[in-house]
Amino acid sequence: MWDFSTDPGFQAELDWVAEFVREEVEPLDLLHPGNHEPYDRESEVFKETVRPLQQRVKERGLWAAHLAPELGGMGMGQVRLALLNEILGRSQWAPMVFGTQAPDSGNAEILAHYGNEEQRRLYLEPLLDGRIVSTYAMTEPTGGADPGGFSCRAVRDEDGWVINGEKWFASNYPHAAFVIAMVITDPDVAVHKGTSMFIIPRGTPGMEMVRGTGLFGEPLGEGVHGYLRFTDCRVPLENLLGEPGTAFAIAQTRLGGGRLHHAMRSVGVLKRAMEMMTERILSRTTRGGPLADQQSVRQSLAEVWIAVEQFRLQVLHAAWQVDRSRETKDPEHVRAARLHISAVKAATPGTLVDVVYKVMHLHGALGVSNELPLMRMWQMGPTLGIADGPTEAHKDVVAKLLLRDAVPAEDGLFGSEHLPTKVAAARAKLAAAAEKQKETS
């Protein structure tokens, strides 16, 4: 059965979330717009304002909705999570208030799946409670998105592991209580089989931040994305997450969901931009009349709505694919979910760039100024085109999965849809049918 409706009970929850985010959370975006502020657990705004808001979310039963109930979440499934994230995506602070912020959400998932009892007690429990934040360190200055170029290495000795190397764009490191780092432990095998995950607590000797890197518009040296260097950084044996050589399998647990969640929140950004566009069209006058009288403006609005609606449905369909794969465990369903996640990841940055640009352009100079949020929203497009793997890598995944099921044509020269060949075959089929009819009449 195909159904595009939302259960009335869950819609009531979404309505509460929408009002709560609009009235209680979005003001934080205005008063505390820094990228680092939602992650600073020592700040007054977190202690005095955010913690009480988080408590209200917990009392409502909406805290960490992406996690299973046994981990303190709702286990609502990806489709419902997509509908929730559409609302949270409108606000920079909302994911933190609802316990779904990256990279903590993904780190919590891999700790839950692969952490031992002691690791869960030390790191997962305070992370789920919102008392601490964490960092995920995978990419490197020399390797970038290519794991084959990774060089950060851990060597085992009698007392533990000794790590040397560098990591790049380790988000929120200045505020993190611990780092989960992907490090080469066996350089003699393929990188996908020779890397391991380590939990490295804050303050571990030998782990230092070379500098903080920010996004465009932030002052040099003040960004929350850490350029990390490990120099004879020693971690005990028990800080290995999972088994040696399983880092890439562990990573997929967090990256697949994270990519989809970024897209879900992007829907909220796009809807907010479209609302700004319709408001502008109805409010602004030019040449003696409202912008709404200009056909080219109406055409642009129509294009934006179509793009947002297509993207939203693609995200929801991908979420449904994931829910189905987790329910059935069917390998074909799992592969389909992977296909749709990569396709959504590839579509996200371009949709953001195109839609927000149209909205910015309609606002004129105001649109590119620091008096509207549009430039910051637009910047999300190029950023998400790089985060969690570049767009090109995900397009390649989509193409490979599609080609896996494709069948080559018997006629390799002209193909299976060659009209002269098909017409001749159709004539022969009809002639044979007519001859058979004569024989039986």
CA distance 324 to 193: 29
Residue 349 contacts residue 384 (beta carbons within 8 Å): yes
Q: What is the pLDDT of residue 72?
A: 67
The domain at 134-241 falls in which architecture?
Beta Barrel (2.40)
- pTM of the predicted model as reported, rounded to 2 decimal places: 0.90
For residues 328 and 298, what is the distance between their CA atoms, to the nearest angstrom?
Answer: 45
Dihedral angle over CA of 374, 25, 103, 33, nearest 10: 50
- CA angle (144 as vertex; 141, 149 as ends), nearest 5: 85
CATH architecture of 8-115: Orthogonal Bundle (1.10)
Kind and range of the H or E run holding 250: helix 247-283
Residue 106 burial class via C-beta count within 10 angstroms: exposed 0-12, middle 13-18, buried 19 and up: buried
* Secondary structure (3-state) at 132: coil
pLDDT value at position 275?
97
- For residue 193, what are the contacts with CB-CB under 8 A and spacing of at least 6? 186, 245
Q: Tell the CATH topology of 248-405.
A: Butyryl-CoA Dehydrogenase, subunit A; domain 3 (1.20.140)
Tokens of residue 193, six digits: 């089989």
- pLDDT per residue, tens digit, the chain (441 aa), is 678 889 999 999 999 999 999 999 999 999 998 877 888 888 899 999 999 999 999 999 999 888 877 776 777 889 999 999 999 999 999 999 999 988 898 899 899 889 999 999 999 999 988 899 999 999 999 877 778 889 999 999 988 999 999 999 998 999 999 999 999 999 999 988 999 999 999 999 999 999 988 888 888 877 889 999 999 999 999 999 999 999 998 988 777 778 899 999 999 999 999 999 999 999 999 888 899 999 999 999 999 999 999 999 999 999 999 999 999 999 999 999 999 999 999 999 999 999 999 999 999 999 999 999 999 999 999 999 998 889 999 999 999 999 998 999 999 999 999 999 999 999 999 999 988 888 887
Cα four-point dihedral sign 16, 19, 23, 25: positive
Query: SS3 of 251, please?
Result: helix
* Rounded-to-integer distance, Cα 231 and Cα 184, Å: 15
Residue 413's pLDDT is what?
93
